[in-house]
């Protein structure tokens, strides 16, 4: 390590000797590590010396693939070189022995990255905080040109990384990523940093890169309230089933008290109704069936730490960042974990509906498409996967199963075949040239209406003949299609601009006559089926159960290494 120490000695060194000192430091420096200390006594000479250190540090970083040390790697060394060369290698975030307003504001924005669902450590916050503390607490450190140079490069690189993450998130492109671009161009990144330097308002400049979708903005607005109550410290883990039921209740009560759902004076053995009410409030906030009884799902949720909940918030913000900058004026939005469908029409929610989605074994896929038509009194052709996994064992057991389920056997010519003429014991996927169709009517599994949109999974929206299931809180119950409670309102919305031909009474008359009719002469409406497990509602965050364990998979892949450091 290269050092020049001693305040009295430094006071005797004039600016004319600085070049000699730099030469000596360079000559005796270790080529495998950058300088740690180069002290400058006169504040007016700091920029010149910092400029020298920036030049040397960029050369070092270029030779080490951006690694400043074993734990810190700057990601955009080539862009840093281009940027600082244009600035004649002068520092841009500091002047003499203090940071500029832009530098201070950028450091604050990085410190508060959690407000954007980001992780401060991703933007060198621990390192920058260490440098800043040295500058504030130690007069000698304020004279260290190496620290000013490092801070400048770290702030610039952090600014670009934060801009990239706010715009595109951490998730890789997949089959439902709609936006075409995946990275900011060098020119865009340079313009961002110039805007921040000009305005000293990094938070405002960076906010322009974020999605404007209401779902994203509502979730982000609720983050401060979450952080105000969150504790990122380790917590006790509940064990279920519990050996000591009284102790278990007391432990649960402790967690509910910490969440503000139960009065701090309550103890196990007190009024059980108060405890049960608090449990129900917690279950409702997490999308768990509100039984008031703490069982496996509730224990799993209570054992989830605030840090894990924060990563859930970050993940869902990143899901929104996969969308384009703007969505169509009108679209259907299906959120699977929330069991909700909504129709957005010019920034207004035209209708909302409860939905039933696929089970974990037959999950509803996430996708992008457009509703092309809807059919009254549709016929259901049973997918082969359902025939052979679920129906065939029942048919073999009792041939009358087909009649009970209103199913008919048809050949490729759509001719009805008598089921008793088939040797069902010998039926396999390879020797079954038939289809099972359910006759249209109120007993049809599709109900009285089906909404079609192209997709490779053969799923669609539809009514159901089991409408009582909408009263359940956990509604992952279908084979993959989405059952819609407000199917009639959705049909009226689709033809709302053609009421002369399709007045609501016209559609109702078709249903009353049990008439099968395909209606498709309306503009196609985009549909987005998504998996969002955290939503902002009235300034608070509502979390939904990870019904398909997609959060678990993505957290392990993209967020496992994220640091809780402030």
Active site residues: 462, 481
The sign of the torsion formed by the CA atoms of 33, 34, 36, 37 equals positive
Q: Measuring CA to CA, how many Å separate 328 from each of 167, 323, 346, 493?
A: 19, 11, 8, 16
3 state SS of 229: helix
Between the CA of residue 355 and those of 43, 334, 461, 487, what are the distances in Å? 67, 9, 9, 10
SS (H, E, C) 73-127: ECCCHHHHHHHHHHCCCCCCCEECCEECHHHHHHHHHHHCHHHHCCCHHHHCHHH
- Looking at the DSSP bridge assignments, the partners of residue 517 are 376
Q: How far apart are CA 299 and CA 291, in angstroms?
A: 13
Distance (Å, rounded) from C-alpha 332 to C-alpha 369? 10
How far is residue 558's CA from residue 170's CA, in Å, rounded to a whole number? 7
> Which tokens is 38 given?
């180069």
CA–CA gap between residue 172 and residue 317 (Å, rounded): 14
Residue 62, both tokens: 């270029």
> What are the phi and psi torsion angles at 348 (to 5°)?
-115, 140
Q: Is 376 helix (H, G, I), strand (E, B) or coil?
A: strand
Are the beta carbons of 335 and 363 closer than 8 angstroms? no
CA distances from 261 to 276, 278, 284, 302 (A): 11, 5, 12, 13
CB-CB neighbours of 299 under 10 Å: 19
Interstrand relation of 534-537 and 540-543 (parallel, antiparallel or unpaired): antiparallel
CB 110 within 8 A of CB 120: yes
Distance CA 204, CA 406 (A): 61
Structure tokens at 396: 């073999």
Alpha-carbon Rg of the chain, whole angstroms?
31
């Amino acid at each position: 390590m290269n050092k020049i120490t001693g305040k009295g000695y430094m006071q005797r060194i004039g600016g004319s000797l600085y070049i000699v000192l730099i030469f000596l430091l360079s000559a005796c420096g270790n080529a495998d590590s950058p300088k740690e200390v180069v002290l400058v006594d006169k504040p007016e000479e700091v920029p010149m010396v910092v400029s020298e250190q920036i030049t040397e540090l960029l050369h070092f970083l270029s030779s080490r693939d951006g690694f400043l040390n074993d734990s810190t790697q700057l990601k955009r060394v080539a862009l840093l070189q281009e940027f600082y060369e244009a600035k004649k290698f002068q520092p841009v975030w500091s002047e003499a022995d203090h940071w500029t307003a832009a530098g201070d504001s950028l450091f604050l924005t990085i410190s508060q990255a959690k407000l954007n669902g980001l992780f401060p450590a991703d933007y060198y916050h621990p390192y920058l905080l260490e440098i800043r503390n040295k500058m504030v607490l130690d007069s000698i450190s304020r004279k260290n040109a190496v620290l000013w140079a490092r801070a400048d490069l770290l702030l610039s690189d952090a600014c670009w990384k934060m801009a990239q993450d706010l715009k595109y998130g951490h998730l890789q492109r997949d089959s439902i990523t709609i936006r075409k671009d995946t990275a900011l161009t060098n020119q865009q990144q340079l313009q961002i940093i110039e805007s921040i330097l000009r305005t000293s308002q990094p938070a405002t400049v960076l906010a322009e890169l974020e999605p404007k979708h209401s779902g994203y903005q509502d979730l982000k607005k609720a983050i401060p309230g979450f952080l105000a109550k969150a504790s990122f410290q380790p917590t006790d883990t509940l064990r279920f089933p519990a050996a000591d039921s009284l102790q278990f209740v007391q432990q649960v009560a402790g967690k509910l008290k910490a969440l503000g759902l139960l009065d701090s004076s309550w103890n196990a053995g007190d009024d059980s109704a108060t405890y049960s009410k608090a449990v129900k409030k917690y279950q409702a906030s997490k999308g768990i069936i509100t039984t008031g009884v703490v069982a496996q799902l509730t224990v799993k949720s209570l054992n989830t730490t605030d840090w894990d909940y924060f990563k859930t918030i970050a993940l869902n913000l990143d899901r929104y960042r996969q969308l384009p900058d703007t969505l169509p004026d009108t679209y259907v939005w299906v959120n699977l974990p929330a069991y909700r469908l909504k129709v957005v029409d010019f920034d207004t929610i035209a209708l909302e509906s409860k939905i039933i989605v696929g089970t974990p074994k037959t999950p509803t896929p996430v996708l992008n498409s457009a509703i092309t038509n809807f059919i009254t009194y549709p016929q259901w052709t049973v997918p082969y996967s359902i025939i052979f996994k679920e129906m065939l064992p029942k048919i073999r057991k009792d041939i009358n199963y087909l009649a009970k389920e209103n199913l008919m056997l048809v050949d490729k010519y759509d001719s009805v075949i008598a089921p008793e003429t088939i040797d069902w014991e010998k039926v396999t996927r390879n020797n079954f040239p038939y289809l099972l169709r359910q006759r249209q009517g109120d007993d049809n599994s599709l109900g009285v209406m089906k909404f079609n949109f192209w997709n490779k999974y053969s799923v669609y929206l539809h009514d159901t003949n089991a409408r009582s299931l909408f009263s359940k809180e956990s509604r992952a119950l279908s084979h993959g299609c989405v059952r819609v409670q407000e199917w009639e309102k959705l049909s009226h919305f689709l033809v709302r601009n053609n009421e002369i031909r399709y007045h609501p009474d016209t559609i109702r008359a078709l249903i009353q006559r049990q008439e099968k009719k395909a209606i498709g002469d309306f503009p196609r409406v985009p549909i987005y089926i998504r998996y969002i497990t955290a939503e902002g509602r009235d300034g608070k965050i509502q979390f939904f159960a990870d019904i398909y364990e997609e959060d678990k998979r993505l957290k392990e892949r993209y967020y496992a290494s994220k640091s809780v450091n402030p």
